[in-house]
Structure 1
């Protein structure tokens, strides 16, 4: 079976993907901390997510340049680039979620949303493990199935948080900011599942 990349590029390329996945883990941990903190602590911690997002975007540019020089099919290059972009987008979505919390001076977040954030951390950890196997994509195994399972639970939790929000009642002005935060967390979950699905397409293509 032909390798996705020539041997001389293999380690540097996949090292970049692993580095990107590690940033996602750091961002997911910071995101959970922001959700679970009070306003003052959020103000202090939230800027870290901008740093994570900026670092992720730089890595995506480096990956794109490396892909342009690699000896792989356009289809494989497109999937790998999409994978990198989607992981970076998930980190950007975490930054957006934190920004909303600070902007709206949001109070204590509902327990289901905090649990969903823990699921986001778990998906990030699974992505790190998967990034180590991109040079032999057949070894990705049930990575997508595991992320999909966590993502389904995450969406259930965001729906539960939304239900609690509307059950609490209040004016639209009060409800909409919290609805935006819940939607932002749901977007992170969706992006993580999309990244795993993209990696799984590489596995299927290589089968």
Structure 2
């Protein structure tokens, strides 16, 4: 079962890399990359289902099973949130994004890498160390970058047909950041419970 968590977290890293490429490119390149992120989202959902089936047959406590199930769902939701951002970018034909949003995408990549390392410790949760602390730091930084992106869009101004799609994309990136923090919080609850 823990191998499946590792596979899911590796998929999260791949999706974060794809997501960064999407955010950094223009419309034509985004249309080419988006199907890859959609496929990663579908695969993450499937891995989440497989983890749920394994958990149903495992001998761990109901509390641990519930937290592990929530972790798998949240990781899959994170990949789906990145896919949502990709769809918004393509469907709305959004142009160049604010620079702070590109930095936020880099933070999402870093948080994904930390999550992979953390999933290797899920069977020995006391080894999670400062995973949650590091993710919280990245979340605060990401939240600040999202606010800066919104401020840049509002300062730039323009027609509502341009501002609203950008606003939706920025909010979608913010949701991805929040989901990553939620994954780390659930893992930390496992660590605390095991202490």
TM range (shorter): over 0.9
Match of 2:122 among 130, 134, 145: 134
Match of 1:199 among 162, 187, 193: 187
Task: Say what the alpha-carbon RMSD is for the aligned residues.
Answer: 0.6
Match of 1:104 among 78, 92, 107: 92
Q: Give the gaps of 5 or more residues in structure 2.
A: none
Q: What's the counterpart of residue 41 of structure 1?
A: 29
Q: Give the gaps of 5 or more residues in structure 1.
A: 1-12
Cα contact 2:94–2:162 (8 A) shared by 1: no
TM-score (normalizing by structure 1): 0.93
For each residue in 1:91-127, what CA deviation from the matched residue of structure 2 results, as whole angstroms up to 9, or x when unmatched? 0000000000001111111100000000000000000
Pair 1:167-2:159 in alignment: no
After TM superposition, the structure 1 = structure 2 runs for residues 51-130 of structure 1, keeping only pairs within 5 Å, are: 51-130=39-118
Distance 2:22 2:159 in 1: 25
Q: What's the counterpart of residue 23 of structure 1?
A: 11
Query: Which protein is bigger by CA-based radius of gyration?
Result: 1
Distance 1:38 1:165 in 2: 17
Distance 1:172 1:66 in 2: 48
Distance 2:21 2:35 in 1: 12
Distance 1:108 1:170 in 2: 14
Distance 1:193 1:166 in 2: 27
Counting matched residue pairs gives 195
